[in-house]
Every structure is written in C-alpha cells, then in structure tokens.
Amino acid sequence: MSLRGVSDTVFVGLQNAARDWAASSAPLDTHGAHSLPPLLLRGFDDIKSVVKDDSAFSISDLPAYLDAAANIGGTIDDRKLLLEKLITLMARLGTESEFGSRLQQSVIGILYKDLPHPPSGYLALPSPSHPPAGAKQTGDADTSDYTADKNREKSVNYAYRPADGSNYNPLMPSLGKAGSPYARSVPSQRCLSPAALPPADLVFDTLLKRDGFVEHPGGISSLFFAFADLVIHDAFNTDLTVKGWTKNKTSSYLDLSPLYGNSQEEVNKVRRNDGSGKLWDDVFADPRLIYMPPATCALLVLLSRNHNYVAEKILTINERGNFKNPPPSDLAACADQDEEIFQRARLVNTGYFIQIILRDYVGAILGLVRDGSSWRLDPLMNTRDIDHEVSPRGEGNVVSIEFNLLYRWHATASQPDTEWTEKLFANSMPGLDPKKMSIKDFVANARRTMNPGPDIQKWTFGGLKRDGSDGRGRFSDAELAHILQDATAASASAFKARGTPEILRVVELLSIEQGRAWGVCTLNEFRKFIGLKPYNSFREWNENENHEDAAEALYHDIDNLELYVGLQAEETKKPVSGAGLCPGYTISRAILADAVSLTRGDRFLTVDYTPFNLTTWGYDDCQANTSDGSYGGMLTKLLFRHLPDYYPTGSAYAHFPFLIPNKMRDFTKEHSGDIERKYNWHRPHLPVGPTAVAKTYSEVQRLFKEPWVYASNVAQRLDVLTGGVRLNFTPVEEIFARDEQLKKAAQAFSSITEGLIKQKTLKGVGTHVMYVDIVRDVINLVPVHWLSNYIIGLSLKVVENPRGVYREHELYSWFANIANYVYHNTDPSNDWFLREQSKAAADKILHDLKSHLARLTRGSANLESISDSMFRWVSGKGNHSESFLKVLVEATGSQSGPSALDGLGGSLFASVVPTAALFSQIIAQVVDFYLDEDKAVQREKIVQLAEEHSNAQVMPFIFEALRLDPPLSSILLTALSPTSVDGNPVARGQHVLASIIDANTDSAVFDNPYEPSYTRPPARVEDVLGLDRRGLLSDRLFEQVVPGILAQIFKLKHLRRQSTQSGRLTRLEEKTQDVPGRFYCDLNGRVTPFPVSLVVQVCRVFPPHLVAECSLTTKPHD
C-alpha cells in the first residue's frame, strides 16, 4: 500500500474512533437542535485538509492580494487573477466556514454594486410608472396583461410572475418589464467620429473571422453554449422594428420567457387551460430558438416537460387540499384551479432553471465542476452589511446594451454547430452568399423565411417530427437524447480573436453596427466602470503580435478600441482554479456581475422564493443535492427525470453534460477517492426496447417465479453494500427459524412495541386523551431496537443507555436509505445519492458487527477485541445481541479469518438490514388500513387471535391489507434471455415492469377485488408481493412477530386517528408507464416510499364520566 493509502487508512480509523466516542459523550436529548460535527471530528477533517495538496491559500496568491490592497477604491489588475483566487479560497473553505461565508457576502456585495440599481441611464425614455405596468402604451399589444393581473391580485394570496415582467419592484412596477428600453450602464466620454471608425467588414476580416478551429481548453462542451443560448435569449430580444434598436422585447429577468412568452397572449398559447395547470406537449413560446443549433430547443423541451411534471405533482400532492382531480366542471372554478397550479408550477420551473444556471452553468464558468467542488457562489443569499443594514435583494433589474454585446459568443461554435448553421443559411436564404450578404438583406430574408407559423403546437426543430396524427404530439425521447448527447460529446471552440465562423459574418457585422448605433462606450471605459485597470496598450490587451498589430492599425489608440470588438478579440484566460470558461479577461469579470444582478434583483428568486409560494414539495425539488455524483448539478436531475431510458445511472453524459466526457474523465483522475471508476464514461447505449408491462396476476406471479429469466437489481446492490463478499443466507435463515429464536423474537418485538408506546405517548393538557405518532415513534423504531439490541449489537443512545452511539431516528434513516436503494430505487436521479449514503451506513454497521464477531471468534487477546469489549462496557447497556451472535458463530464453525468474518457479517447484514424499513412499512400500512372506524371489529379480532397465539389465523387479515395496499407498488426487472410478457416478445436486456397493485386487483383471480375479504388464501397474495422472504420478512419470523406488534397497537383503548391531516398518512398516487405507484411525503415535502408519520389518540383512564370525553374529543376524519 502507498504512503498516501496508509495515511488515509489511519485517518479513517482515527475518525471512526473519534466519531464513536463523540457520539457516546453527546447529550441524550438534543431538544430539537440540529446536530453538528463534534469538535474532535472537525479537528481531524482540518488536519486531513492540510495534508492534502490543495490548500486554500499559497504564496503564489500574494501578488493578487497585494494589488487589491494597493488599489482599494481604484481599479484592479485582473491579470493577477484576484477573483479566481478568491473563488478558489471560498470553494476550499467550504460552506461551513464562517470566514468563507463572510468573504462570499463581501464578494457578492461587490459584484452586485458593479451595476447601478436602478439604472441611471437608458437608450430611450422608459415607460412611466402610470398607467400601471402592463396597461396599454405605445408599442404594446393590448391591455389584457394588466387587466388579467389586476383581477387576479384581488383573489389570490400567493406570489406569481406577471406575464410581461412587470411589478417585480412594487415601487417601480415598470422596471425591467418586456417592451422597455435597454439601460445604458456606462455613458461614453470618448469622442469618436462614426466616420473615423474602421469598416465593420474590415474589422471582421482582420480580427474576428475564424482562422482555424481550436478545442476549448477547459473541456467545455457544445451543450454548455446551447444552454447559454437559452439564458441569453431569456434576457435579450432586441426589437429590430424600432428605430435605433432601443427596445428589449423580453423582460430583464430570467423568467424562462423563451418557454412561457412575454405577454399574456403568448402565455395563453402555450397553456392547456384545462384545470391541470399544464402546457401543451413539448411547446415553447420563442420562435428565435428554432433557428439556433437544435440542442438549445432540446433543452427547452425538457424544461417544458418539467413544467408539466411539476404541475402534475402539485395537483397530486394537493398540499392545501384546495384542488380537485379531475378538475371541477364549473368553468370559473376550473379556471381558478388551472391558474394557481400553472403559476406555482412556473415558479418552481423557473427556480429550477435558475438552479441550473447557478450550479451547472456558473459552476462550469468558474471551473468548480471540473475541479470536483460542490461549493457554489450564492448570489441569492440573505445578508446584512457591516452596519447591520439588510443587503438589497429583489429590487428589480434592467439589462443594458453593454451586456447585450458582451454575451454574443459566436466564436465558441463547435464544428457540428458551424456545419448546421451553414446548412440553415443555405436552405433559408438560397441565392445569397454569406460572405457578401449585407445586414439589410439578412434582416429582410430572416423576416420572410424564418417564420415557423402561428400554431406553436406544430413547431419543430432540427428535422424532428412530432407524434400524433395532427402533428401536435411529443417529440421522440430517442431523438432528443441523440441531439443532447451529440452536443455533450462535441467540444466547443475556444474563445479567441479570429475565432468566429465565417458563416456568421453578417451576424458579427450587425453586432458591430448595433454597438455604434447605440453609442456604446469603449472597452477601456467599460473596464474602468467595473473596477478593472484600463489597458495602456494593445500589447496589454492581446499579446499575440498579429492580433495586436491588426487592432492598432484599425484603431490607432487603445482608448479607441470599441467595446464589442475589444471583448471578442481580447486575450483569453488559461484554465486555472476558479476559471473554467476561459473567455477574455473583461468578459470573465463582467459576467459574474451580471449574473448576480439578474438573480439577486429578481424578487421571485429571493424574497418571494418560499415554500408557501412554490409549495413545500416544489421548493424542495428546486434544491440541489451536493452528494448526487455531479457536485449538485441540476441539469443532471432534468436529464434523468425526462429521458431515463437514454441516460442510465452513473453516466458521465448525465452527470457532467457541460463538459466533454473524455476531458472530464482526465480531470476526475486528479480528484481524491478514486471517483473516476464510479462513472460510465462511454456514450449511453440505446435501450433494447421499450419497457414491457405485466399487470395480470398470473403473469406477475410467473415473473417472480422465474428469477433465472427475470432478474431484479437486488443482488447487485447488496453486493455493492457488502463489498462484494460471498453471501450465504442459509445459516442466518435457519437460526431465525428455530423455535427458541422465534419465541425470543416474538417476546422482544412485543415488549419493544409496548415500551415505545409508553415512552413516546404525549398527554393532552387538561384531558385524559393521549397522542402518539404510531408510525414515526413506534413502528419505524421497532426493528431499529430489535436489530440493535438483539441481533447486530449497535449501541443505541436511549434513556436506558445514555452513553450509546446511535440515535433511534438516525439508525432508522440509515435503514430506510438502504431499503430504498436495494428494493425501491427506480429514480436514476436519486441512485447515486442512495448508493453512497447506503454504502456509508453499511460500512459503519458492518464495522461494528465485525468487531463483535472478531471478539467472539478470536477471544480477547487482541487489540480489536479489547477495544470492542471496552466500548461495549461503556455504551452497551441493554444490549443482548451477544446471545444471537454466539449462536450464529457456532452454527458457522467459529471461523475467525478476515474473509470468513467478512462473509458472515455481510450475510447477516444483507439478510436483516435491507428488510428492516420494509418491515416497518408493512406494519404501518396494515395499521393504517385497520384504523378506519368501519374496521373496529377486525382490529378486535386481530387482538383476540394474537393473544390466543393463533398467529396463522391473523395472517389473512395482514395479507388482505397488503393485497390492497402492497409495500412495493411495482418491481422493475430485466430479461436475461429472449422471452415474452403477456404474449409480446421481450428481448434480452429489455426491462419489464411488474405491477403488483394491478396484479393484486385482478378480477380474474379475486372476487370483488377492491373490497377486503378475510377468507382469501394468504398464499395467493404472498405470491405477488414481490418481497424477498428473508430477514425480517422470512415466513416463520414474520408470522411469529407481526401479530404481537399489531396486538400491542390495536388493544389501546379508544384508539382512533387524530382528527387533522396528521391522523392520515400523507400519500400521493401517480402512474409510470401506466402502472400505478403509491408514495409518501415527509414534513419537508420530499417524496419517499416509506410512511413517515401517523398520529393516533388513545385514552388510558376510564372513569364512567370520562368515556364520553375519550370518544368525542375528536371526530373521525372524513
């Protein structure tokens, strides 16, 4: 093993020991506070970071900091890379650093104040504040926007984005709305006669025209610039019909206007208006994007689909209970429902869009994704200045002409995009030579030929065709994925002078002439305005002798250099820490200031970006998961969600879509933790075929009985968690099936359940009614206590053992993650997180388990056994697991070698831990099923039979509840050989989705399938539950322990649901591939396969005069 490997192993061992002792010493009751890493652990983390070769500060950084200190209040030499060094410093300090947080606040404040808020100058007179924003003014289409918004304001209590971008600033309601003039950030003081400026075509030929394709030095893919097109077209849409090109037809906010439109009329065209809040299939509002390379529209289609996904979720979850599904038949009520769902879904979708910008897009610009950092600059954060004044947010924004010119990144066009553009010009403007085309000819021909028609449901792009006989359906998933993956695989061009493809000559000429028509400032004036040192010579601007000489010949004096030309032909950055985009130095600095202004100035991304407005689920869905394998990438989630068959789990094309896979692979080899091997770096294979679906009882039963033909991922995932050891479940299952073990288990489960009910019950004030969260605080914790204290030997921190290590709910969350990963996991966007979380939990559990086994097999004459004995003595009160582990060790021959212990520990873990949360889920759903008042008789019968030890007679009640409410709604299988499902051929490798819900309600097998009947043969139901019959779900153990648990719950006097929503499981039902699925929502709006909470009430004291109180305190939930 290398020295680095030895040091890592030592650190891991020390960290584990520190973790356990710190957890053992922690107080039993946290009083609801968030747990923080103990000081000792943080110390080890700090030491480890020092040992690494990427310290946050080095001696080579000093010149940049000294230059900044010497020029406080003046201009900074950006060639010393101060901003990049600050970004690197903040990223390496991380989100938990107080100094890093303060530094980030200062950086964001500086960037935000780079531009005036509100702008101090405009190209033309801005619209007056009165009449109100959205009312008809010169150049506006009509007054419908204002009327619709004003009427809505009277009846809603949630914030929403007005269609035209008005009312973002309540004090200046027209600020930044669509149809307003551009702002002028920098008034030019340089006297330049238009006649003295060099001809635009000469400028293009000498400074801008591509002299050869150069791959992007930072590994940026073409897809990055396809997304940049979305951002740019969201913020800029110059009205070429207005004299002087002064008006911006879109709003000055990143409100996804390319998808939704810039007026109520445009918004109405994309909406269904049917009560669902959805858009028409795969539509968008901005026709300009059809004439961009097709990856731009493909991304926009995914965001269109995401709106519908969000709207459906909001309707299904129905957080406030005010929606109806299907929508109400009353037209007014239907319209109100559609409006609210649409507006909330738009807030979520635009929030999602912004997170892609901040995490994927800006993350690539700053080189953070390339460097493997999940830290991101957060311009939305709420802060206070040093004088305690609240830092401004949500003030509004107006985009300026300077930034309109800055974002024209034609030089970065990839080779495939250049070829596509050449074909577009040839097809849409035949007979015109792009090398000689005038601006006038280009504009006239573009207006005539680049018009997709009024029916947006029929718009198409990139040669794609829509489904449906009327040509208004969805685009093919396969074709969208092909476009997007081509763009990820293609390298963008490097920013550089002489980098723009010749086919875009006329577009560059238009850019130069627009800058001149606007009287825009020079490059040096712009640099001084944003606090950068102006250039003293053309050599400073670009050290390439050819570029320097050409610019000097054209402009003579560096102070004459035009902004647009100076930005595009400036010397570019090299890829270093904090710099990934590698444009010219001025662009690199300015885009961060603009990004902060665009986002921080938007009230719907700041002060109104709340769970109340977006819904709890919607707000959570917009949050990044920094442990998702893409360092918190949100585009990753979008690709997995909407093209799951074409972006398999672990694909680098999904995790790093803005970086070329082979380049990113080289970058990850430099990251710690051997992470490169966890990704699939090859282009995803096409799926073998569409997912086949089995719904009938007979077909689903057949699939489960032929595991050699239809395989699940369970074995593969268990292999990941246990480290690839050989698993042997037979000894474990044989021990569980022994009579003495079954008797012990039944007693233990019943006792644990009774004890948890007593401990977790809360007494109401001034009443004999008592409350307990029977799912969260009892059912979910029962297997946690049994496995910890009777089987594995995990040190629980409870009242009886205050020096324990693991808290009850902490362990349950581990068990739930493991069960989710092994059995439920069908969402590719969550696979990485579940795998890594489950693997980390498994490693900790197996570490403790194997320490116990080592002590039992090797005796106490070794360091590991002594350590285990000491820790057990300190923190093992109430732990009875040694009895079971001794039996297990004896049954397997008491082998003490490392491989034997790995195999024994892995087999026990794989048998019991993944089934623990499923076990709780089953009991919770059975309890929920029988809590309804019309099933009181069945509850009493279950208690009676359980107390008579007639467990076999209880099973029909349990299995009938599970038939109607199975723990697994469906199971995804893979065909291992050619076969058929329901008579349809299935190829090897094709997925098959077995619907357990449909099979369990097959009328060919079950009479009155949706009505409970307690005389059905249990075996018939067991055959289609899809569960592994091992561990806590093994037949004999399950039958022995579950009736006793149910009896302890159902015998509680006057048991009933708490009358509010807390007395119901928070569930949602949705279909995938026309297969029904059932899920739950936790308190934070996250969707989970497991029940989270169900509060019941009981009475413990029953004098005659209190019976009525216990019965009538609450009424059953209707």
Q: Quickly tell me which residue has 């991922």 as its tokens.
A: 713
Q: Would the pLDDT of 334 be above 50? A: yes
pLDDT tens-digit series, residues 770-813: 999 999 999 999 999 999 999 999 999 888 888 888 999 999 99
Quote the pLDDT of residue 690: 92
Q: Residue 630 — pLDDT band, cuts 50, 70, 90?
A: very high
Q: Residue 867 — pLDDT band, cuts 50, 70, 90?
A: low
Superfamily the domain 692-1112 falls into: Cytochrome P450 (1.10.630.10)
Q: How far is CA 640 from CA 446, 497, 628, 1089, in A?
A: 36, 38, 12, 19
Quote the pLDDT of residue 462: 94
Q: How many residues does the chain have?
A: 1118
What is the C-alpha separation between 804 and 909, in angstroms, rounded? 20
Phi, psi of 530 (to 5 degrees): -95, 15
pLDDT tens-digit series, residues 444-502: 888 888 889 999 999 999 999 999 989 999 999 999 999 999 999 999 999 999 999 99
Quote the pLDDT of residue 259: 98
Quote the pLDDT of residue 134: 38
256 closest CA partner among 344, 345, 350: 350
949/1018: higher pLDDT? 949
pLDDT tens-digit series, residues 391-438: 889 999 999 999 999 999 999 999 999 999 999 999 998 888 988 999
Name the pTM for this structure: 0.92
Q: Would the pLDDT of 53 be above 50? A: no
Q: Check: CB of residue 551 under 8 Å from CB of residue 541.
A: yes
Q: Would the pLDDT of 582 be above 80? A: yes
Q: Residue 354 — pLDDT band, cuts 50, 70, 90?
A: very high
879/437: higher pLDDT? 437
Q: Is the dihedral of CA 501, 667, 593, 533 positive or negative?
A: negative
DSSP H/E element including 101: helix 98-112
Read off the pLDDT of each residue in 558-571 and give the average, rounded to a whole number. 97
What is the C-alpha separation between 992 and 995, in angstroms, rounded? 10
Q: Residue 147 — pLDDT band, cuts 50, 70, 90?
A: very low
603/869: higher pLDDT? 603
Q: Residue 75 — pLDDT band, cuts 50, 70, 90?
A: confident
> Which tokens is 525 given?
């004036």
Q: Would the pLDDT of 51 be above 50? A: no
SS3 state at 1107: helix
Q: What is the DSSP string of 283-351?
A: --S-GGGGGS-THHHHHHHHHHHHHHHHHHHHHHH-TTS---SSPPSSHHHHHHHHHHHHHHHHHHHHH
Quote the pLDDT of residue 770: 93
What is the C-alpha separation between 542 and 620, in angstroms, rounded? 46
What is the C-alpha separation between 1014 and 766, in angstroms, rounded? 41
Q: How far is CA 782 from CA 437, 525, 752, 789, in A?
A: 77, 70, 6, 11
Annotated binding site for heme b: 410
1107/930: higher pLDDT? 930
Phi, psi of 40 (to 5 degrees): -65, -45
- HSE, side-chain direction, 13 A CA sphere, residue 384: 4
Topology of domain 144-613 in CATH is Myeloperoxidase, subunit C (1.10.640)
Read off the pLDDT of each residue in 334-343 and give the average, rounded to a whole number. 97
Q: Residue 52 — pLDDT band, cuts 50, 70, 90?
A: very low
Q: Residue 870 — pLDDT band, cuts 50, 70, 90?
A: low
Class of residue 47 by CB neighbours under 10 A (exposed 0-12, middle 13-18, buried 19+)? exposed
Q: Would the pLDDT of 721 be above 90? A: yes
Q: How far is CA 467 from CA 280, 460, 828, in A?
A: 13, 11, 26
Q: Would the pLDDT of 1115 be above 50? A: no
Contacts 24+ apart (CB under 8 A), 127-130: 127/174, 127/177, 127/179, 127/180, 128/174, 129/172, 129/173, 129/174
Q: Check: CB of residue 428 under 8 Å from CB of residue 449.
A: yes
Give the rounded percent of residues in the chain with a pLDDT score beyond 70.
87
SS3 state at 760: helix
Q: Check: CB of residue 164 under 8 Å from CB of residue 257.
A: no
Sheet with 762-763, side-by-side order of all strands: 762-763, 769-773, 1095-1099, 1056-1057
Q: Check: CB of residue 90 under 8 Å from CB of residue 104.
A: yes
Q: Would the pLDDT of 1060 be above 90? A: no
What is the C-alpha separation between 886 and 889, in angstroms, rounded? 5
Q: What is the DSSP string of 927-951?
A: HHHH-SGGGHHHHHHHHHHHHTT-H
Quote the pLDDT of residue 71: 58
Least confident of 111-120, 252-261, 385-394, 927-936: 385-394
Read off the pLDDT of each residue in 1066-1086 and give the average, rounded to a whole number. 90
Please provide the average confidence, as pLDDT, over all residues in the chain.
Answer: 88
176 closest CA partner among 264, 245, 236: 236
880/792: higher pLDDT? 792
pLDDT tens-digit series, residues 812-860: 999 999 999 999 988 899 999 999 999 999 999 999 999 888 888 876 6
Residue type, 187: P
Least confident of 82-96, 520-534, 698-712: 82-96
What is the C-alpha separation between 709 and 1057, in angstroms, rounded? 45
**What number of other Cβ atoms are within 10 A of residue 625's Cβ?**
18
Class of residue 439 by CB neighbours under 10 A (exposed 0-12, middle 13-18, buried 19+)? middle
Least confident of 182-196, 282-296, 508-522, 950-964: 182-196
Least confident of 117-121, 862-866, 1079-1083: 862-866
Read off the pLDDT of each residue in 679-697 and give the average, rounded to a whole number. 94
**What does the CA dihedral 405, 410, 411, 415 come to, rounded to 10 degrees?**
170
Q: Would the pLDDT of 617 be above 90? A: yes
Q: Would the pLDDT of 141 be above 70? A: no
Quote the pLDDT of residue 879: 75
Annotated binding site: 410
Give the start-to-end residue ranges of the domains of the chain. Answer: 1-53, 144-613, 692-1112
